[in-house]
Amino acid sequence: MDKMSRRAALRAAVATGAALGFGNSAKAVPEKPVIPRERLFDASWLFHRGDVAGAEQAAFDDTGWRKLDLPHDWSIEDAPGARKTADPWVAPAALWNPVHRRAPKPGEFIVMPQVPPEQIGNPPHAVGPFDANRSPGKSFAGWTLGGTGWYRKRFFATDIGAEEVVEIRFDGVYKDCEFWLNGQKVGEHDHGHAGFVIDLTPHLYRDRANVLAVRVRNEGLNSRWYSGSGIYRHVWLTRTGPVRIPLWGVFVSTPALSAESAIVRTLVEVETRAKQPSSVDVLVTLKDDRGQVVGAGQHSLEVRPQATAMAELIIHLASPRRWSRRRCTAPRSYSKPMARSRTELLFPSVYARSRSMCATGLPSMESR
C-alpha cells in the first residue's frame, strides 16, 4: 500500500471510529487485534553462582544449574561453604557489633561497627550469607558477598513475525552485566540501579529455541548500602511492529500553568525500522485521576526509512485540577497520578495501536 492509500485508509478508519475503538462494532470495519506490547519474562531461568567459562554459548551444558524465577538476589542466600542459617546456632551468632557505637570524635566522619575477635564464645565470622572477613563492602553491604553469577533461559518465538522488533527490558540488575543470545553478544550494562533494554531482534530465532545468557558481576566496594546481587527486579519481553514508540519515547511538560488554564506539551518519539517511508498519526489523550478525558491532540507525521522523528502536541486545559505538597499529605493521595497521558500510533496494520503510557501531573505553585 503506498503512502497516499495508507493515509486514506487511516482517515477512513478514524471517521468510522474503528481505529479509535469508537462506534458500533457491528457496522464498523472489524479492527485487527492489538498484540500486547510486553509480557512478564520472570519464569524458568537457570542460575549458577560463580564464573563459568563458555556459559555464553547456546550449546553449553547447564543441566546442573538451579532453576528459579526472577527477581533473584544471590547475596542474601547462604554463601558456599558457610555455616547454614538452618543449622542450630545461638543468637546473636551474626551480631558483630553488640556494643552501641560511640559518637564520632572531632574530625571523624563516622564510627564503623567493630567485629569481635574470632574465638570461642564470640560470634562466628561466617554464617549464612554473612562473612565478616571476605565481604568487600563490610558493614556498608551488610557483611554480605557479591561475586559473579550466570543466568540462562530458553524460550521460543515462533509466533513473532519477521518484521517485529523484539527487546528484553530489565528493571534492575546489580551490577555489571553482559548479554548473549544464541551465542552472539547483544549488549552490556554497567549501572545497578537503572532499568534498560537489550535489542534481541538481529539474532532471534523464529523457528527453534533461543538461549539467552546473562553474566552478572558485583565485585569490590561499590555501594554504601546493601545492594544485593543479580537480576533483582522484573524482566519483560517486548515486541512491537517496525513503526513504534520506543521505550521512554514520551515526554510531558506543562510550560504554562495557572488556576484558570494549562498548556500540556507532549513530545513523542516515533521510530521506524521499515525500509520505506511511514505515515502515522500520533494521538495523545489526557485523562484525570478519575479516568475522564480532559484533553486530546493528534499530529500527522512522516518518518523517513529506518529513522526517528519527533511529534509535538499541545493540549490546552481549562480549570486544571492541580496537585500540591499540601494535597499529597492526604490519605491515598499517591494511589493515582493527577493525570495520565495515553499516546497511540495509528496506522493500518496488525499493530493498530503502538501504545505508550506516561503519568504526569499539574503542580500548584503555592508557597509553604
Tell me, what DSSP letter sits at residue 113?
Answer: P
Domain CATH number, residue 194: 2.60.120.260
Residues 236 and 252 in one domain: no
Last residue of a domain, one of 212, 240, 268: 240
Distance between CA atoms of 320 and 141, rounded to whole angstroms?
46
Q: How many residues does the chain have?
A: 368
Q: What is the pTM of this model?
A: 0.78
Whether residue 26 is predicted with pLDDT greater than 60 in this model: the reply is: no
DSSP string, 9-64: HHHHHHHHTTTTT-S-TTTSPPPPPPPPSEEE--SSEEEEES--TTTTSTT---TT
215: nearest Cα among 150, 154, 145, 171: 150
State how many domains the chain has. 2
What would the pLDDT profile of 114-172 be if each residue is shown by its tens digit? 777 777 777 778 888 888 889 998 888 888 999 999 999 999 999 999 999 999 999 99
Domain span including residue 206:
38-74+146-240
What would the pLDDT profile of 64-123 be if each residue is shown by its tens digit? 999 999 999 999 998 888 777 655 554 444 555 555 667 778 887 776 777 777 777 777
Residues 327 and 346 in one domain: yes
Q: Hey, what amino acid is at 322?
A: R
